[in-house]
Amino acid sequence: MPYLSPALNVMVAAARKAGRGLIRDFGELENLQVSKKGPADFVTTADQRTERILVEELSRARPGYGFLVEERGLIEGPDKSHRFLIDPIDGTTNFLHGIPQFAISIALEREGVLVSGLVFNPVTDEMYVAERGHGAYLNDKRLRVAARKTLSEILVASGAPFMGKEGHEQFLGELRGVLNATAGMRRFGSAALDLAWVASGRFDAFWERNLKAWDIAAGILLVREAGGVATDLNGRDKMLDSGDILVANDALHRQLLDLLRTAN
């Protein structure tokens, strides 16, 4: 059984409450897909409502904690030592198109250190949790990163910037390098779930650039507590600042870091 601190218990309860609303919303999208207006406004409303529920539930249980959230940015509280980092729907485009690959992501920092995290896909009811020093779990199953050490055998995940966005050409160079060296690559559209899937061994590695702190904070803790390595693409512990990230087991991380550095 996973160890759940009082704070992580609160986070799990908040995610499950918000997740029930997302399941209802997701069920409505089938009708909206064929409407002239389309589902975009509906999804924006769902995103904002989910964030509001999470902030309200966490604030009630932990009054004074600060927040860094996708929709409203930084919300400062009187307790300067604790901060929640929240993405209410990571994988919004998937959600928009009725693809069940999206998640609620919540992390807790204490004095700037990630101490608790969860990634929850309400459609599949997969709850990934991690507590600093206590391991990572999928529901009640202990997680470990995959043990493969050879690039030619691994499956790698990433996220691609759209045409015209910063880093598009750089990504294409990195993609060519990864595709030429590995067994395959996937782009599933949710960084939080990609990180959780590395923690669970479904993917061997994940890299991406220009992400936000709320996209990756919980996933970083999951990977580390599952025995993996997480750094930015310069090999430093600056992911939340830079928005660049690479995660894998120790043997693969060094190889992929070198590969990505020389890919362009």
Same domain, 101 and 119: yes
Residue 56 has pLDDT above 60, yes or no: yes
Task: Please tell me the predicted confidence (pLDDT) of residue 196.
Answer: 98
Task: Please tell me the predicted confidence (pLDDT) of residue 65.
Answer: 98
Give the three-state DSSP class for 110: strand
HSE-CB of 15 using CA atoms within 13 angstroms: 30
Same domain, 104 and 212: no
Task: Please tell me the predicted confidence (pLDDT) of residue 30.
Answer: 65
Of 48, 45, 62, 59, the residue nearest 7 (C-alpha): 62
Domain range holding 162? 151-261
Regarding predicted confidence, which is higher, 34 or 241? Answer: 241
Q: Amino acid identity, residue 181?
A: A
Same domain, 215 and 251: yes
Confidence of residue 252 (pLDDT cuts 50, 70, 90): very high
Q: Which of 111, 142, 173 is the last residue of a domain?
A: 142
Residue 51 has pLDDT above 90, yes or no: yes
Same domain, 112 and 177: no
Residue 1 belongs to a domain:
no
Residue 38 has pLDDT above 70, yes or no: no
What is the pLDDT averaged over residues 109-132? 98
Same domain, 201 and 121: no
Structure tokens at 188: 């599933």
209: domain CATH number is: 3.40.190.80
CB 129 within 8 A of CB 55: no
Burial, 77: exposed, middle or buried (Cβ in 10 Å; 0-12, 13-18, 19+)? middle
Residue 183 belongs to a domain:
yes
Same domain, 179 and 120: no
Same domain, 17 and 36: yes
Residue 192 belongs to a domain:
yes
Task: Please tell me the predicted confidence (pLDDT) of residue 242.
Answer: 95
Task: Please tell me the predicted confidence (pLDDT) of residue 40.
Answer: 66
Same domain, 17 and 119: yes
* Segment 179-188, tens digit of pLDDT: 999 999 999 9
Q: Which of 142, 168, 193 is the last residue of a domain?
A: 142
Structure tokens at 178: 């990864």
44: domain CATH number is: 3.30.540.10
The count of structural domains within the chain is 2
Same domain, 35 and 111: yes
Per DSSP, 153 falls in state: G
Structure tokens at 51: 């964030």
Regarding predicted confidence, which is higher, 4 or 107? Answer: 107
Task: Please tell me the predicted confidence (pLDDT) of residue 33.
Answer: 57
Same domain, 109 and 235: no
Task: Please tell me the predicted confidence (pLDDT) of residue 169.
Answer: 83
Residue 18 belongs to a domain:
yes
Per DSSP, 47 falls in state: H
Q: Which of 142, 170, 188 is the last residue of a domain?
A: 142
User: Which stretch of 87-91, 123-127, 150-154, 171-175 has the lowest confidence by average pLDDT?
Assistant: 171-175
Same domain, 119 and 160: no
Same domain, 126 and 155: no
Confidence of residue 36 (pLDDT cuts 50, 70, 90): very low
Residue 217 has pLDDT above 70, yes or no: yes
Task: Please tell me the predicted confidence (pLDDT) of residue 232.
Answer: 97
CB 99 within 8 A of CB 119: no
Residue 34 has pLDDT above 60, yes or no: no
Residue 153 has pLDDT above 80, yes or no: yes
**Phi/psi-derived region of residue 133, left when phi > 0, alpha when psi is between -120 and 50, beta in every other case:** left
